[in-house]
Amino acid sequence: MKKYYLIFSVALVSILSMSSSSENKALNEKVTICHIPPENPSNYHEITVSVHAICAHIAHGDLISTCTD
């Protein structure tokens, strides 16, 4: 399942990076993600990050979505 989230996340990042700067400003260049701290995965929670920080968060296992139980 994480593989599909990763593929979806990469596709979403690509789409966001191709959008015009006015569209990014409309989005305020922020995305809500489910942050899963590597040192404490049971403490997952939603955070809002810059679109430029998405790749770093995906790299350590975060998901571009809201957190679900």
At residue 44, the pLDDT reads: 94
CA gap 37, 40 in Å, rounded: 5
pLDDT more than 90, % of the chain: 38
69 domain residue, yes or no: no
pTM for the whole structure: 0.58
The mean per-residue pLDDT over the stretch 29-41 comes to 91
Q: What is the band of 26 on the pLDDT scale with cuts at 50, 70, 90? A: low
68 domain residue, yes or no: no
**First CA to last CA distance, the chain:** 15
67 domain residue, yes or no: no
Q: How many domains does the chain have?
A: 1
35 domain residue, yes or no: yes
